[in-house]
Every structure is written in C-alpha cells, then in structure tokens.
Amino acid sequence: MSLTHPIFGIVRGLAFVVALAGLGLTVALVVLERTWDAENRPMATDAEAFVLGSIGTELAPVVAFETLPELFPDEFHPIDAFLKSQGVADRSAGDWIDQFGFIRQTQAPNPRGDMQLPVGFVVSRHRPGSGAGSPIPFVGLSCAACHSGEVRLDPDRPRTAHYGIGNATMNLLAFSEALRGLLVRRVDDSDPKSEYRLTLQAIVDVQAKRGRTLTMWEKTFTALWIRGARAEAGGYRNVIDEPYPPQRLFDPRFMMAGPNRTQPFRSLVRIHLDRPGWSDRGHRMDQGFSKVPAVYHQDPEYHGEWAQFDGSVNDLTARSTLAASTAGGNVHNLSRPDIASHILGAAEYTRRLAPPKWDDTFPEHALTAEQRALAAGAGAEAYRKHCGHCHGEPAGAGWTWDKQSPKNLFGAVLPLSAIGTDPERVEFRHANEVSREVAEKFGAGFRKNHPLATFKWDADPSRTNLRSTGGYYCGPIAGTFLRAPYLHNASVLTLAELVGLEPRRAKFYRGRNGYDPVKVGLASPDVPANVDRNNPKPRDRNHYFVFDTAERGNSNRGHRYPAWGHFHDDEPAKLTDAQKAELRALIEYLKTI
C-alpha cells in the first residue's frame, strides 16, 4: 500500500483533528488554571493571616481528608490504640481532634461556625508542594495550629483558647507520622505486596455513603495527590524509616517528642539536606526536642535582635518562613502572593502580640489584693535580682531590658556550660551546613525583591541572619504562666519547680494536663516507681505520655536561678523560710507579667 493511499489521508486527517483538539484543551486548561487561583486571596488582617492564612502547608484534598478518620480509625485514634496495646482500660480519648491535641473550633476565641476543622486548619485552593492553583480545595495549616493553646483547669472541661501560646496538648509529630503512615499502609499489613489501603476508590466509596459524588476534578486531583504524597512518603522512608503503626504514635519509646514538642533541627536537616538528622555527640539520632514556643512580643524592640530558643535567627520574616518550611513551605508555594502575605501578616501579628492577664485567663483564681501586693513588692524585687538581667522586664504592653547595665545578658546566648540545660537541641550534626543551605536556598530561590527574600548567610556572625550558636538565648518571657511546661524542651512542669521552690519531677505524665494555679504550670499525677522510659505505661486517656527526664533530650537540669534554690542535681535545696517566701513572691510576680 503506497503512502498516497486514501487510508493514510483519512488517518492523517483524524490525527490532525485529535491533535487540534488536544491543543485546544491545552490552551483551555492553561486559561482555566489561572482562574483556580482566584480564590487564593490574602487575608484582610494580620490576625486573620495568623489564624486563617495558608502558609504553604497543604496536607490533603478536603474530600480525601474528610474520609481519613473513617478509612483509618486506628491512625486517627492513636491514644486509644496505645492504651489498648498497654492494657490500660479507659474511655476513648475522643475523636482525632482530641487525640492529636488540636483545638476544637468551638473553643476558638472567635469560632467559625462554617468550619468543622480545628483551629489553625485552613482550606485553600493551593496544591501541596508547588502552591499552584487547584480546582479543588485542600486542607492546610496556619500558624495558629501550633501557636494557639487551650489552658484547662480540668482536663475534661474545655475553655476558650488563646492565640500566641504554644499548644501544650498538640502532638504534631504523631499527626504527621500518622498521615505519612496511612499513605503507605496496605490492606493486609502482613503482606507488603497487597493493595494500598488509601485509594481513590476507597475515598469515593466513603463519600458515596455520605451521599456525596466526587466531581471529575476532585477525582483527578485526589488521584494525583495520592500518587505524589505516596512517592514523597516513600522518599521519606528512604531517609528516616517506615512510619510507626498507630499504637506506637503516642508511645514515648518510639515517638519521643510527645505533646507540645517538635524536633526542629531534625526536620530542617531532613528537609533541606535530605539527611536523617543525627546528633553531633555520637553515632545516634538527634533528640533535640523543642517546645512549641509562645510567640508574644516578637518585635526586636521587645525581643532583642535574635530569636528561637538558641538565638539562631534574627529576622522576623526569616523566622516565620523558616517555621513554615519545616511544615511544607518552600520557595514555590511561599512565593505565591497570598501565602507570602500570610507569612508577613502573621509575623506582623506577633510583633506586639501581648499575653492575656492571669485574672482574665483564670477568673476563678483571680489574684487577691494580698497577692498583688506581694507580686508588686517582694516579687518584683526578686525578679529583678534573679531573672531580669537575662529576661528583661515588662514595659506597658511591651517589653524592655536595661541596656545600660553591665550585668545585662538580655539578647545574649548563654553557652551550655553556663546555663546547663539539655544540650541535644544545639548539638546536632550539620548545624552550620543547614543554616547555610537554608539561607542560600531561600536567598536564591525567592526573587530579589520578594518580601520573603530576607535570608542571608555569612560566616561572619555580624553579617548573617542564620547561625548556629551552641547555647540558649536570653529573651522576653511575657505571659510566663502560659508558657508551661518550662525550659526549651518542656521538661519542667511548673514555675515552682523551675525556680526551685519545689523539686523538679524526674518523671511526670503529659497529655491533656490540667492547670495547677498554685504551682503555676501543668498538673500531673505521680508516676509509679516501676513506670519509666523503659516501661512507659500510660495512666489514662489524659495522662498517657510518660515524660522521663532521664531520657536523652528530656533533661530537666540547668537554668538554676536563683542558684541557692538548686544546690544539688538530685536533691532539692533546703530552703530557709525567707528563701521560700522570696520564691513564692517571685511566682506571684511571674503570674502578673
């Protein structure tokens, strides 16, 4: 058959039509994609940016996320799974919002009636990773997911949350491990060749039971998300390991961070260097746990030049960008106008954000006139004597420090040898390398005039805004009573223990602790002698995470001020009545700042 045969002409003609149609669809798709971004608008206010604005941390399509608790009941009830695995009979710890310690929308300072997701969960039209526009909504996170907290006097009685404090109940690492785990979980856990449990069809089926039919876009983008997220989970598995099963997510032998803490440098090393995150002190994993901090008074006028517990970042925008990067933010999605504006707005919101007053937080324990007098007199004096030269002092709604005093250490980094707190957070491998990599990645990745392009790295400490310090930063402590548990690794439950009035507990329970308004901090039942880091048997649904300070990264030593309150590591000081009175006055004062 010759090439001039009519059949070739017909085939060519059909192919031409198909190709033309494909080209038309391509043009239509490109034009359509521009409209998907239309809903991604910057929040109107800085407060909204902090609470409602996506920061490039889109997790999953809404249609998929809604079905996860049903498809993965174990992953979304990990406390129950842990209690069951340890033979502890207790009521359920609640739904997934309770179990992972997020804040229910009803407890938000300004609840959104149209939102079923917890505080700090947002819905955007950004795709994960690139942040490109999406025809379907995705669930993501805002700053408020971590930096909001509910302080309950009784663990079972909800109270209104506060923006700006670290969420003491949230277990972010367990949540992210659960999400990673469900992506690679098989129908038959014992057969690695069996089908994945999370499939488009499984999602479609669950939604169908609810009477919801997925649209063509929802199916397409959910399928693409599953494939991409699974590939990413596979890459993570190659660097870290297989995700833990549900019953280990809250077991401190495996997921050692527990509530309120993250492993920021392990995350940075993993994300930016694609390495597992080892300690610099030996052949072992880094266990540099870090409390999710309060974010009050972030302006340098109040906070000093540097920030983070180790004083490693000195630019407010860079700080927020860096925080977002540990949860999924990258140069692509952070370059999006609305996401960039949320980072800037949220940072701006925290500049002068001040904590609520004690009396407003606990009206049932409002300070008496006697307590106020004690705080203003002996308490303030004790603070100036023992704390002020490192932590500064309140100044109206803001914060200040004595810049002329030769004893002033505010804004300085105390070396480990001086402060003596747990070293893990500042002794991780590649400390300098990761600073440089982050600064260069974000410095080169953003356009020159992009508002988030504030990273700069230099070997000269005076010309860099990212550094590795090897010590801990002396910064402001506004809202001290809301910052429990104390120290950078959340290893001291109360102010009474921190200042030396009470011995620091070697073991305690974490979870949904109640608040102790007398010792000022979190309450915990005593931990039985036979329960420790090797046998971390949970107590109940609210007290499940045994925090053993003998564990690496959990040390509660150091920061022993006043020194006479802590004369021995294992034995509490024998305080005189006058010393006890001084410390009680100090605690009263700390309630007021």
Partner 1 sequence: MNPVPRFATFANVFIPFASLLTGANLCAEAGINPVPAALAGDPHLKGLLAGNPTFARVMYSIWITFLFATPAVGLFLLFDIRRAAPVVHRYWLLLWSFGFVAYAIHSYFATVVWFESDFAQIVERQSLPVVIVNYVLLAAWGVEVVASVALGQGGGGVWLHRLQWFTHLLFLAAAIVAAVVFYHSGTTPKAGFSLLLGVALIAFAAFAIVGRIFWREPASGQ
Note the residues at the interface with partner 1 (CB under 8 A): 4, 9, 12-13, 15-16, 19-20, 22-23, 25-26, 29-30, 33, 127-130, 132, 221, 224-229, 231-232, 234-235, 332, 447-449
Residue 125 Cβ vs partner 1, minimum distance, rounded to whole Å = 13
Phi, psi of 428 (to 5 degrees): -105, 155
Residues in the chain: 593
Q: Kindly state the smallest distance separating residue 132's Cβ from partner 1, in Å.
A: 5
Minimum distance, C-beta of residue 36 to partner 1, in the bound complex (Å)? 11
CB of 236 to partner 1, least distance (A): 11
Spatial contact of 72 and 182, defined as CB atoms under 8 Å apart: yes
Least CB distance to partner 1 at residue 228 (A): 3
Give whichever of 26 and 201 is closer to partner 1, judged by the CB atom. 26
- CB closer to partner 1, 23 vs 397: 23
Cβ-based nearer residue to partner 1, 196 or 564: 196
Residue placing its CB nearer to partner 1 in the complex, 26 or 215: 26
Whether the Cβ atoms of residue 421 and residue 569 lie closer than 8 Å to each other: no
CB-CB contact of 219 with 202 (8 Å): no
| Shortest spacing between CB 465 and partner 1, in angstroms | 20
Torsion angle, CA of 144/146/148/152, rounded to 10 degrees?
Answer: 150
Which helix (H) or strand (E) segment holds residue 323: the answer is helix 316-325
> Of 137 and 379, which CB lies nearer to partner 1 in the complex structure?
137
DSSP states of 70-139 as a string? HH-TTTT-HHHHHHHHTT-------SHHHHTT---GGGSSS--TT--SPTTEEEEEEPTTT--EEEEEEE
Q: What are phi and psi of 492, to 5 degrees?
A: -125, 120
Least distance from C-beta 343 to partner 1, angstroms? 18
Q: What element of type H or E holds 585?
A: helix 577-592
Select 78 or 128, whichever has its Cβ closest to partner 1: 128
| Strand pairing class (515-516; 261-262) | unpaired
Give whichever of 30 and 578 is closer to partner 1, judged by the CB atom: 30
Cα Rg of the chain (Å, integer): 26
Supply the minimum distance, in Å, between the C-beta of residue 203 and partner 1: 15
Q: What's phi and psi for 300, nearest 5 deg?
A: -55, -25
Least Å from the CB of residue 225 to partner 1: 5
Q: How far apart are CA 251 and CA 261, in angstroms?
A: 14
Please state, in angstroms and rounded to a whole number, the distance separating the CA atoms of residues 454 and 465: 9
Estimate the crossing angle of helix 200-209 against helix 216-239, to 10 degrees.
130
Q: Which of residues 417 and 449 has its CB atom nearest to partner 1 in the complex? A: 449
Q: Which is nearer to partner 1, 332 or 580 (CB)?
A: 332
